[in-house]
């Protein structure tokens, strides 16, 4: 198919580079420089999408990010992307685009039945029905959900990558139109670090499609080149095309999304990230974000072929596309007359219907001179056509603007260019909680503060200034002032660019075209919000029903909640409300502007942080050995820890049993490197420990180890571990693996803020030490071969520490045990960890040395009744609940959490005690987390006595064991109570002391 | 005066061009005196007003709202309803609320689109598994519903999930009665019924002070004049401390921003709601088709309805990790609310040190789902000056005794 | 998203810090804490100020120093930054 609507010359497209693409499987061609929208228009494709609610046929209305209608899906498989505006998709060779939200096809969409029945589906209809039967909503909802939604989610993972970067600038200029360019160059000339972000492929903004007005006597295109040349010559200037500043998060922190591939397909550039998220901190910001043209509200104003006037001008001048030969322009202001001039120049038949009484503006006069017919006081009341507009019905507007009168003239046309005025793009200003004010001159909201002549941050059209000359003057001042505020120059602009003033006639607000007397459809087809099909009738209904606050109205009618976020509809909706309720626009406030300005790809915000980079994987120095020896890893926080080691033909259960038995009978080796370790030094180190632990530390001998509990200020257990006195003023603290960072922060907090009298220094050394635990009856014999110190029972008793060498490497060896067996925890510098482990593993063959993982560790410790903080305690467990009164010093003075023991919750309440639980049926494993009742099968709902915290099958005992936190548990020892399954059935068990093996605790001393 | 809503009334009105619908709720000027005044026109305040009129026959009631009704956290939340809590008192409270939700559309004659799509709470570690195990058993025992799912069963509910993500999904806690609802509709439905029962809804009216004599509240001062009353209920998420300051008592609350966002609308892709507490994100799909995504709160006190972008990054990385297919979807709109956090992450439904002044607040991130029960309990306190059994554990006095209802307990400590 | 001026490192992004709750809480002595309400107040009662809020921050991904600030919780503007044990230099009027 030829591009029959492409003009022979003109535009920024490269007619030598033909690009083929498909839309709904049909092949077309466009040119390099096209958007999908311009290429579709060039090929005469007017029907592009269907509206959300009524499935009305929709075409292309705009030329940029404000497009509400032309939503398409592009790409295949993992590259598929729904809900893209055809107006912002750059055309590339082989682009595959499809219409969406229609069935079975775009032309014949059964959903259009909703349009035929639209009178039954006014705003908020779903609140009023679908209520019966009581459970019926899920049935209705199934169909409503299928009918709702727009595009479909991709069904494969995204193959593309995304980048992020941080940037600091002195002046961030958002928008590369005339005002943005002038502001940027003024700031750059002062030496400021300037960033100019432009959302489209190249700077220029409106100048790119309004070529008639000279700047500094130059054609706009030449002026743009001149400014860009000068800007790029500055080292400190960053120009970011294809970059949309999407969010203002306050304190001059902005996010911007840069499209890195321009007009190239995703799949052809896999090596290059697709988008980059810029996190920008800037000293000053200039918002030169332009303005969006507003449509006009008349009946059937949504037919394909009804387009925004300036967007139509864009297609003619920037893309060389004239999508129809017979154009009616409907406007309430002068700006649309430029379209009349361009269209006539391109050979179209043009007429203008202007709702105003007249205008003596420059462009109006120019159009008149060109012989274009202009009818003042006329409005379009309706359109004709099905999937494309074929004509407009025009009537006269009464002098007070409240009715239409006279005869209906039907004007045949295949395009209607509408202009209802301009809404400055104040989103970024408003997102930063900037104040807004209504400007009567342009009938729109603008940034408050400053003045039109001396604006603060918004300049040009973004400040409501639609005149090029004044915009450039503003921009020069604001650009130079921004540089000055950032510390550059004196605030005076230099070599200011100058344009001629253009005289324009006054705006006349036209928030809606009155429906003709006796019209049956009234305002039901006056769309003001196109994508969601919100009509003037909907607003009227909402107000009738009491939703008169604009925020209520927005939620009730869904106005402004479409993917375009109301860029073309929000101000019009307010105007309609104001007109309906007789309020002054000055008293109205727009709904909150929420980030992002344009939709942002989820993957771009996630950046590189996914998969292995989602969160760093922490591996101990011995990781490779574990991997090579069958380890299955448990992810504990960021750490990868051996869970168990599988031998060929073994399952998890067999492996864990083998590991447990090896520790009890021979010797096991475990990687305990993940333990938190804190080096504590200083003359007050012992006093410090005395304050953070519940027990006494002053008299601990050098070379001795002690177990400690740390409480939070609520008196509840917070962490535990063994701390060793290495010297008079030097301690080595261990914490739980997961608790290490939190304990470090906690200790620093107390030391720095409350106990400034203490002379103590803390260093986190968790990563500096590899820790290898040898545990079991043969541990000593094995280790004795490799050390240079006496490790006999007598010379090296339980709960002490010695420094020496292991296999020639300096080591600290601790006689502490978490398994209940005689154990040696060998600490060596991390870089030696692998070597020592390997040496031990090889030397251990003769002793039956078996590596064991976290699962076996947990069983072994439970057999001995050792707790795991966080499993056998929760955030409400006091030391006394654990039967650990012995570890709470009564006479050493204050320590963290101590005063909480006075609180009634600890002093007076019934507490849950940690007790042992033995199922009557010896092989029965209690579910961890199961709650407990006194009576068998007590019907649910009922109250709980507590719950099972740990439950294992003990290989050495040959039966299951468990622990639980049970109300008054210690008083129940010897009694039978019941753990309850999810299905309510009961497991009988006997309460006992929480020690199951080696009750005297002798083996660890061996 | 108010129309009954039904398919038939919709049909009838269609033929008269929808010109005969009456106001769903009225915003009026305040009278000089009311039997009871409720401060806060969100879900809880409106529910309290409705229940005062409906259950306790007190209709001389004003609801005072600083902005527009439902405009605070009611209009800003992610509309999940669940009762999968840890503690017995919480499960009972939240489940009582689910039960009220289950018949709300019919009771209010307003479709609040309550949809029990099921809610999955994912576990990513052994300790997560222990935590959901404890919770599932508790929920079951206390009379609500909970099931434990294997990874394979999780996949059946969520075909797009990446079970083998950085922190693999080891299982999930499923609450089938977990639901999503239309948040605005709940507020409007209560407002409509309360209006019909004679309650005055006063919008754009800010409380500036209280007149308290001998420890008893006498009147409420507002930007629209003094309102005499001897019974006041406070239901003002994000402003509880501010109002308590005016009344002269202190609360154990910190007010922090909570952010949420939605993607562009999509055809149905996510059947149930999903929460992953340990990687800080949750997501559900609305009836309109948007994916509604939330995460953790910002950590610091703020009253600006604006959070940090870093929280958004945390949410997006988590969602992409769980659902890699969602990577190319686009975020359309983002916002923040202000939530009142208590030390135990449980609400305060209580008498206050001021006689006949009651509070229903401190709901943290759980206020939307409990609007029905919170309002009902406050209505009972206001009507009878007694504390209902369900509310008793949530008294303000627990912050003197330390007898908390600690919902953070299982996730706040080390492993 | 605000930045915080660390008294040791200068202005840094919010993401380098962790929040430490209200500042200048008085920790009751063991004798004072025998009155359990005193301890409960220290644990739970907070000013939660709308306006100027005294609070603690920790430069966790920086110098790992704790310090205090006076921040406006509506605008996120910082009025004072001061060290542990010091009193904030804030206008009494501003505190309201």
Q: Tell me the DSSP string of A361-401.
A: -HHHHHHHHTT-EEEETEEEEEEEESSSEEEEEEEEEPTTS
pLDDT above 90: residue B16: no
How many independent structural domains does chain A possess?
Answer: 6
Tell me the per-residue pLDDT of A444-485, one tens digit each, with 9 for 90 and over: 999 987 666 667 789 999 999 999 999 999 999 999 999 999
Instruction: Please answer yes or no on whether C30 and A898 come within 8 Å at the CB atom.
Output: yes
Query: What six digits make up the tokens of A822?
Result: 């005689």
How does residue A271 score in pLDDT terms, banded at 50, 70 and 90? confident
pLDDT at B408: 85
Q: In angstroms, what separates the C-alpha of A899 from chain C's closest C-alpha?
A: 6
pLDDT at B304: 86
pLDDT above 50: residue A930: yes
Same domain (yes/no): B166, B272: yes
Interface of B with A in 236-255 (CB under 8 A): none
Q: In angstroms, what separates the C-alpha of B250 from chain C's closest C-alpha?
A: 7
Partner C contacted by A609 (CB < 8 A)? no
Same domain (yes/no): B247, B265: no
> Does some domain include residue B16?
no
**Which residues of chain C have a Cβ shorter than 8 Å from any chain B Cβ?**
1, 14-15, 18-19, 21, 36-37, 40, 43-50, 53, 55, 73-76
Q: In angstroms, what separates the C-alpha of B9 from chain C's closest C-alpha?
A: 47
**Alpha carbon of A561 to those of A435, B7, B39, B67, B333: distances in Å?**
22, 26, 29, 20, 9
Q: Which residue of chain C is at minimal alpha-carbon distance from B313?
A: C15
Distance CA A498, CA A732 (A): 74
Shortest CA distance to A186 belongs to which of A202, A175, A169, A173? A173
pLDDT above 70: residue A885: yes
Q: What is the DSSP letter of A611?
A: G
Partner C contacted by A900 (CB < 8 A)? yes
Instruction: Please answer yes or no on whether C1 and B241 come within 8 Å at the CB atom.
Output: no
Tell me the per-residue pLDDT of B160-185, one tens digit each, with 9 for 90 and over: 999 999 999 999 999 999 999 999 99
Same domain (yes/no): B258, B399: no
Same domain (yes/no): A131, A168: no
Cβ contacts of A123 within 8 Å, gap of 6 or more: A534, A538, A539, A541, A542, A556, A557, A558
Distance CA A669, CA A727 (A): 28
Could you tell me how far CA A137 lies from the centroid of its own chain? Answer: 31
Tell me whether the omega of the peptide bond preceding residue A133 falls within 30 degrees of 0, making it cis: yes
Long-range contacts of A234-238 (CB under 8 A, 24+ apart): A234/A188, A234/A194, A236/A188, A236/A191, A236/A192, A236/A193, A236/A194, A237/A184, A237/A188, A237/A193, A237/A194, A237/A195, A237/A196, A238/A167, A238/A169, A238/A193, A238/A194, A238/A195, A238/A196
> Does some domain include residue A883?
no
Shortest CA distance to B187 belongs to which of A630, C47, A546, A38? A546
Q: In angstroms, what separates the C-alpha of A399 from chain B's closest C-alpha?
A: 27
Q: Is A207 left (phi over 0), alpha (psi -120 to 50) or beta?
A: alpha
Residue C49, domain extent: 3-95
> Does some domain include residue A632?
no
Residues of C in contact with B343 (CB under 8 A): 43-44
pLDDT at A265: 59
CATH code for the domain of B171: 3.30.9.10
Q: In angstroms, what separates the C-alpha of B42 from chain A's closest C-alpha?
A: 13
Same domain (yes/no): B124, B216: no
Mean pLDDT across A420-447: 94
Residues of C in contact with A713 (CB under 8 A): 42-43
Residues of C in contact with A898 (CB under 8 A): 30
Partner A contacted by B277 (CB < 8 A)? no
Domain ends where: B318, B341, B364?
Answer: B341
Same domain (yes/no): A278, A171: yes
> Does some domain include residue B165?
yes
Instruction: Please answer yes or no on whether B402 and C43 come within 8 Å at the CB atom.
Output: yes
Burial readout B223-238 (b: 16 or more C-beta within 10 A, e: otherwise): eeebbebbbbbbbbbb
Instruction: Please answer yes or no on whether B327 and A119 come within 8 Å at the CB atom.
Output: no
Same domain (yes/no): A817, A685: yes
Q: How many helices (H) and strands (E) does chain A have?
A: 22, 47
Residues of C in contact with A894 (CB under 8 A): 29-30
Instruction: Please answer yes or no on whether B301 and C73 come within 8 Å at the CB atom.
Output: yes
Instruction: Please answer yes or no on whether C40 and B402 come within 8 Å at the CB atom.
Output: yes
State pTM to two decimals.
0.96
**Alpha carbon of A751 to those of A147, A238, C25, C58, C65: distances in Å?**
62, 46, 16, 13, 10
Domain ends where: A563, A597, A631?
Answer: A597
CATH code for the domain of A390: 3.50.50.60
Same domain (yes/no): A796, A684: yes
Tell me the per-residue pLDDT of B255-283, one tens digit each, with 9 for 90 and over: 999 999 999 999 999 999 999 988 889 99
Q: Which residue of chain B is at minimal alpha-carbon distance from A556?
A: B184
Q: What is the mean pLDDT of chain C?
A: 93
Q: Are A736 and A744 in contact (CB under 8 A)?
A: no
Nearest to C66 among A281, A748, A898 (CB): A748
End-to-end CA distance of chain B: 61
Q: What is the number of CB-based contacts under 8 A between chain B and chain C?
A: 64
pLDDT above 80: residue A368: yes
Q: What is the mean pLDDT of chain B?
A: 95
Phi, psi dihedrals of residue B279, rounded to the nearest 5° = -115, 15
Whether ipTM exceeds 0.90: yes
> Does some domain include residue B334?
yes
> Does some domain include residue B6?
no
Q: State the DSSP H helix or E strand holding residue A431, giving kind and residue range, or none if neither.
A: helix A427-431
pLDDT above 80: residue C91: no
Where are the alpha helices (H) located in A884-941, listed in sequence order? 904-907
> Does some domain include residue A671?
no
Same domain (yes/no): B357, B246: yes
Domain ends where: B293, B323, B341?
Answer: B341
pLDDT above 60: residue A263: no
Residues of C in contact with A756 (CB under 8 A): 84-85
Distance CA B360, CA B378 (A): 6
Same domain (yes/no): B175, B31: no
Instruction: Please answer yes or no on whether A753 and C30 come within 8 Å at the CB atom.
Output: no
Instruction: Please answer yes or no on whether A894 and C28 come within 8 Å at the CB atom.
Output: no
Where is average pLDDT lowest: A112-116, A295-299, A631-635, C58-62?
A: A112-116
> Does some domain include residue A657?
no
Same domain (yes/no): A283, A330: no
CATH code for the domain of A710: 3.30.1360.120
pLDDT at A268: 66
CATH code for the domain of A918: 2.40.30.110
pLDDT at B277: 84
How does residue A252 score in pLDDT terms, banded at 50, 70 and 90? very high
Interface of B with C in 235-254 (CB under 8 A): 239, 241-242, 250-254
> Does some domain include residue A651?
no
Q: In angstroms, what separates the C-alpha of C42 from chain B's closest C-alpha?
A: 10
Same domain (yes/no): B328, B194: no
pLDDT at B411: 58
Nearest to A718 among B167, B203, B413 (CB): B413
Mean pLDDT across B201-210: 97
> Does some domain include residue B282?
yes
Residue B348, domain extent: 24-77+183-252+344-411
Q: Are B264 and A599 in contact (CB under 8 A)?
A: yes
Residues of B in contact with C48 (CB under 8 A): 241, 251, 253-255, 301
Partner C contacted by A875 (CB < 8 A)? no
Same domain (yes/no): B350, B334: no
Mean pLDDT across A288-312: 98
pLDDT at C94: 55
Q: Are A36 and A24 in contact (CB under 8 A)?
A: no
Mean pLDDT across A711-724: 97
Interface of A with B in 243-282 (CB under 8 A): 247, 249-250, 253, 255, 279
Could you tell me how far CA A351 lies from the centroid of its own chain? Answer: 48
Residue A71, domain extent: 1-157
Distance CA A245, CA A198 (A): 8
Mean pLDDT across A184-203: 96
Q: Are A506 and A372 in contact (CB under 8 A)?
A: no
Residue matched to tokens 């309400």: C37
Q: Which residue of chain A is at minimal alpha-carbon distance from B28?
A: A546
Instruction: Please answer yes or no on whether B399 and C45 come within 8 Å at the CB atom.
Output: yes
pLDDT at B412: 43
How many independent structural domains does chain B possess?
Answer: 2
pLDDT at B415: 44
How does residue B409 score in pLDDT terms, banded at 50, 70 and 90? confident
What's the burial of A176, exposed, middle or buried (CB within 10 Å: 0-12/13-18/19+)? buried
pLDDT above 50: residue A566: yes
Interface of C with A in 19-78 (CB under 8 A): 20, 27-30, 33-36, 39-40, 42-43, 56, 58, 60, 64-66, 76
What subunits touch chain C, counting only 3 or more CB pairs under 8 A?
A: A, B
How does residue A282 score in pLDDT terms, banded at 50, 70 and 90? very high
pLDDT at A553: 94
CATH code for the domain of C44: 3.30.2270.10
Same domain (yes/no): B332, B364: no
Where is average pLDDT lowest: A134-138, A631-635, A792-796?
A: A134-138
Mean pLDDT across A839-854: 97
Q: In angstroms, what separates the C-alpha of B411 from chain C's closest C-alpha?
A: 19
Mean pLDDT across A528-543: 96
CATH code for the domain of B204: 3.50.50.60
Partner C contacted by A899 (CB < 8 A)? yes
Tell me whether the omega of the peptide bond preceding residue A948 falls within 30 degrees of 0, making it cis: no
pLDDT at A298: 98
> Does some domain include residue A428?
yes
> Does some domain include residue A1006?
no
Mean pLDDT across A645-651: 97
Radius of gyration, CA atoms only, chain C: 15
Q: What is the mean pLDDT of chain A?
A: 95
Instruction: Please answer yes or no on whether B309 and A137 come within 8 Å at the CB atom.
Output: no
Phi, psi dihedrals of residue A863, rounded to the nearest 5° = -60, -35
Same domain (yes/no): B376, B400: yes
Q: Count CA atoms within 13 Å of residue A430 on its CB side.
A: 21
How many independent structural domains does chain C possess?
Answer: 1
pLDDT at B2: 65
pLDDT at B414: 41
Mean pLDDT across A199-228: 96
Q: Which residue of chain A is at minimal alpha-carbon distance from C23?
A: A753
Q: Which residue of chain A is at minimal alpha-carbon distance from B269?
A: A153
Same domain (yes/no): A693, A591: no
Mean pLDDT across B297-312: 92
For A247, the 3-state DSSP assignment is strand
Same domain (yes/no): A708, A843: yes
Instruction: Please answer yes or no on whether C58 and A250 come within 8 Å at the CB atom.
Output: no
Q: In angstroms, what separates the C-alpha of C36 from chain B's closest C-alpha?
A: 8
How does residue C93 score in pLDDT terms, banded at 50, 70 and 90? low
Tell me the per-residue pLDDT of A810-838, one tens digit each, with 9 for 90 and over: 999 999 999 999 999 999 999 999 999 99
pLDDT at C90: 81
Long-range contacts of C89-95 (CB under 8 A, 24+ apart): C90/C52, C94/C51, C94/C52, C95/C49, C95/C51, C95/C52
What subunits touch chain A, counting only 3 or more CB pairs under 8 A?
A: B, C
Q: Which residue of chain A is at minimal alpha-carbon distance from C74?
A: A433
């Amino acid at each position: 198919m030829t591009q029959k609507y492409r003009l022979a010359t003109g535009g920024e497209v490269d007619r030598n580079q033909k690009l083929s693409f498909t839309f709904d499987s049909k092949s077309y061609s466009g040119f390099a420089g096209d958007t999908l929208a311009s290429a579709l228009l060039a090929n005469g494709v007017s029907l592009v999408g269907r509206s959300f609610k009524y499935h009305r046929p929709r075409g292309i209305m705009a030329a940029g990010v404000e497009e509400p209608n032309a939503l398409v899906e592009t790409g295949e498989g993992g590259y598929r992307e729904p809900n893209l505006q055809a107006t912002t998709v750059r055309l590339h060779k082989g682009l595959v685009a499809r219409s969406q939200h229609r069935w079975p096809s775009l032309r014949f969409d059964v959903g259009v039945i909703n349009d035929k029945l639209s009178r039954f589906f006014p705003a908020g209809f779903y609140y009023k029905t679908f209520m019966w039967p009581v459970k019926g909503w899920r049935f209705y909802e199934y169909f409503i959900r299928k009918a709702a939604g727009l595009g479909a989610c991709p069904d494969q993972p995204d193959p593309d990558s995304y980048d992020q970067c941080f940037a600091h600038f002195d002046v961030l200029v958002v928008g590369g139109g005339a005002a943005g360019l002038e502001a940027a160059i003024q700031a750059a000339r002062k030496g400021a670090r300037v960033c100019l972000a432009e959302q489209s492929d190249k700077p220029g903004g409106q100048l790119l499609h309004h070529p008639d007005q000279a700047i500094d006597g130059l054609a706009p295109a030449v002026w743009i080149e001149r400014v860009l040349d000068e800007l790029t010559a500055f080292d400190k200037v960053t120009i970011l095309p294809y970059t949309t500043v999407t969010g203002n998060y306050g304190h001059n922190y902005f996010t911007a999304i840069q499209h890195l591939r321009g007009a190239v397909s995703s799949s052809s550039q896999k090596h290059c990230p697709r988008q980059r998220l810029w996190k920008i901190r800037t000293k000053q910001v200039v918002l030169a974000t332009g303005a969006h043209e507003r449509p006009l509200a008349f009946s059937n104003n949504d037919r394909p072929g009804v387009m925004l006037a300036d967007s139509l001008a864009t297609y003619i001048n920037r893309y060389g596309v004239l999508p129809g030969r017979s154009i009616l322009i409907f406007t309430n202001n002068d700006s649309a007359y430029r379209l009349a001039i361009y269209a006539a120049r391109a050979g179209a038949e043009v007429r203008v219907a202007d709702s105003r009484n007249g205008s003596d503006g420059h462009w109006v006069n120019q159009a008149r001179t060109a012989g274009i017919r202009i009818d003042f006081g006329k409005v379009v009341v309706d359109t004709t056509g099905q999937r494309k507009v074929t004509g407009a019905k025009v009537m006269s507007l009464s002098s007070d603007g409240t009715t239409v009168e006279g005869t209906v003239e039907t004007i045949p046309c295949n395009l209607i260019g509408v202009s209802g005025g301009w809404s400055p793009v104040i989103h970024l200003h408003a997102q930063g909680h900037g104040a807004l004010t209504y400007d009567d001159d342009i009938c729109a909201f603008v940034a408050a503060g400053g003045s039109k002549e001396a604006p603060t941050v918004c300049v040009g059209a973004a400040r409501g200034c639609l005149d090029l000359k004044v915009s450039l003057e503003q921009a020069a001042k604001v650009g130079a002032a921004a540089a000055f505020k950032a510390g550059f120059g004196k605030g005076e602009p230099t070599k200011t660019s100058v344009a001629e003033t253009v005289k324009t006639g006054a705006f006349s607000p036209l928030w809606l075209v009155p429906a003709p007397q006796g019209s049956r459809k009234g305002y039901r087809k006056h769309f003001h919000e196109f994508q969601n099909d919100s009509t003037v009738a909907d607003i009227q209904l909402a107000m009738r029903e009491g939703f008169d606050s604009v925020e209520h109205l927005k939620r009730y009618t869904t106005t402004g909640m479409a993917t375009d976020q109301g860029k073309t509809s929000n101000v019009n909706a307010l105007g309609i409300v104001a007109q309906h309720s007789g309020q002054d626009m000055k008293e109205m406030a727009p709904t909150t502007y929420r980030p992002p300005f344009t939709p942002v790809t989820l993957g771009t915000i996630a950046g590189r942080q996914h998969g292995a980079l989602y969160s760093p994987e922490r591996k101990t120095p011995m990781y490779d050995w574990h991997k090579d020896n069958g380890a299955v890893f448990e992810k504990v926080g960021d750490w990868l820890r051996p869970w168990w080691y599988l031998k060929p033909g073994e399952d998890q259960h067999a492996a864990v049993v083998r590991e447990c038995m090896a520790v009890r009978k021979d010797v096991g080796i475990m990687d305990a490197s993940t333990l938190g370790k804190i080096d504590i030094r200083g003359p007050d180190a012992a006093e410090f420990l005395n304050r953070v632990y519940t027990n006494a530390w002053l008299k601990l001998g050098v070379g001795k180890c002690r177990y400690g509990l740390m409480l939070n200020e609520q008196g509840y257990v917070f962490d535990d571990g063994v701390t060793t006195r290495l010297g008079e003023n030097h301690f080595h603290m261990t914490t739980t693996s997961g608790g290490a960072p939190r304990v470090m922060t906690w200790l620093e907090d107390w030391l720095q803020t409350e106990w400034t009298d203490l002379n103590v220094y803390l260093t986190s050394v968790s990563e500096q030490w590899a820790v290898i635990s040898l545990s079991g009856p043969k541990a000593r014999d094995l280790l004795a071969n490799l050390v240079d110190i006496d490790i006999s029972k007598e010379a090296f008793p339980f709960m002490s520490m010695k420094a020496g060498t292991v296999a020639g490497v300096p080591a600290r060896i601790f006689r502490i045990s978490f398994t209940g067996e005689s154990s040696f925890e060998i600490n060596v510098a991390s870089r030696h960890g692998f070597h020592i482990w390997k040496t031990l593993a090889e030397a251990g063959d003769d002793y039956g040395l078996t590596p064991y993982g976290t699962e076996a560790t947990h069983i072994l410790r439970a057999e001995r009744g050792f707790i795991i903080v966080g499993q056998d305690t929760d955030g409400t467990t006091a030391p006394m609940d654990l039967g650990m009164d012995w570890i709470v010093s009564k006479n050493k003075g204050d320590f963290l959490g101590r005063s909480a023991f006075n609180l009634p919750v600890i002093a007076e309440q019934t507490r849950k005690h940690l007790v042992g639980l033995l199922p009557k049926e010896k092989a029965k494993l209690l579910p961890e987390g199961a709650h407990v009742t006194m009576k068998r099968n007590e019907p649910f709902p009922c109250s709980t006595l507590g719950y099972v915290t740990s439950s294992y099958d003990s290989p050495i005992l040959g039966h299951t064991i468990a622990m639980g936190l049970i109300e008054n548990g210690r008083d129940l020892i010897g009694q039978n109570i019941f753990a309850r399954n999810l299905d309510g059935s009961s497991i009988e068990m006997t309460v006992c002391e929480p020690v199951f093996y080696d009750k005297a605790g002798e083996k660890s001393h061996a | 005066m108010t129309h009954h809503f039904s398919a038939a009334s919709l049909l009838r009105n269609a033929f008269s061009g929808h010109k005969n619908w009456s106001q769903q709720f009225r915003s009026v000027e305040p009278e000089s005196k009311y039997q009871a005044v409720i401060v806060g026109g969100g879900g809880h305040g409106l529910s309290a007003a409705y229940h005062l009129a409906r259950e306790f026959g007190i209709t001389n009631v004003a609801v005072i709202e600083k902005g527009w009704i439902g405009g605070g956290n009611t209009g800003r939340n992610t509309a999940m309803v669940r009762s999968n809590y840890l503690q017995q008192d919480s499960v009972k409270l939240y489940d009582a609320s689910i039960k009220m939700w289950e018949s709300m559309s019919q009771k209010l004659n307003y479709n609040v689109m309550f949809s029990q799509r099921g809610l999955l709470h994912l576990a990513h570690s052994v300790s997560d598994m222990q935590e959901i195990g404890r919770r599932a058993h508790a929920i079951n025992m206390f009379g609500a519903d909970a099931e434990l799912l294997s990874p394979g069963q999780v996949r059946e509910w969520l075909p797009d999930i990446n079970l083998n993500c950085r922190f693999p999904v080891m299982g999930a806690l499923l609450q089938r009665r977990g639901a999503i609802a239309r948040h605005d509709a709940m507020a409007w439905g209560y407002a409509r019924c309360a209006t019909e029962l004679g309650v005055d809804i006063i919008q754009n009216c800010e409380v500036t002070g209280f007149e308290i004599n001998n420890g008893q509240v006498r009147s409420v001062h507002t930007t629209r004049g003094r309102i005499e009353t001897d019974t006041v209920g406070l239901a003002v998420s994000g402003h509880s401390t501010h109002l308590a300051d005016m009344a002269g008592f202190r609360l154990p609350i910190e007010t922090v921003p909570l952010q949420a966002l939605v993607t562009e609308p999509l055809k149905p892709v996510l059947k149930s709601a999903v929460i992953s507490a340990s990687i800080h994100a949750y997501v559900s799909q609305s009836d309109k088709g948007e994916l509604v995504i939330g995460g953790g709160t910002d950590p610091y006190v703020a009253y600006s309805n604006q959070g940090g972008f870093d929280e958004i990054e945390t949410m997006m990385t988590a969602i992409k990790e769980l659902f890699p297919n969602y990577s190319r979807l686009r975020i359309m709109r983002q916002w923040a609310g202000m939530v009142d956090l208590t030390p135990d992450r449980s609400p305060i439904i209580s008498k206050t040190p001021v006689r006949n002044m009651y509070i229903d607040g401190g709901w943290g991130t759980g206020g939307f789902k409990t609007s029905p029960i919170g309002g009902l309990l406050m209505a009972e306190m206001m009507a009878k000056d007694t504390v209902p059994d369900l509310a008793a554990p949530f008294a303000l006095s627990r912050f003197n005794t330390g007898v908390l209802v600690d919902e953070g307990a299982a996730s706040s400590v080390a492993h | 998203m605000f930045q915080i001026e660390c008294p040791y490192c200068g202005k840094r992004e919010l993401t380098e810090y962790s929040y430490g709750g209200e500042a200048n809480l008085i920790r009751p002595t063991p004798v004072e804490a025998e009155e359990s309400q005193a301890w409960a107040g220290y644990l739970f009662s907070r000013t939660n100020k709308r306006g100027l809020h005294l609070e603690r921050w920790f430069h966790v991904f920086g110098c790992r120093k704790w310090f205090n600030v006076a921040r406006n919780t509506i605008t996120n503007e910082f009025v004072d930054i001061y060290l542990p044990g010091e009193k904030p230099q804030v206008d009494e009027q501003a505190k309201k």
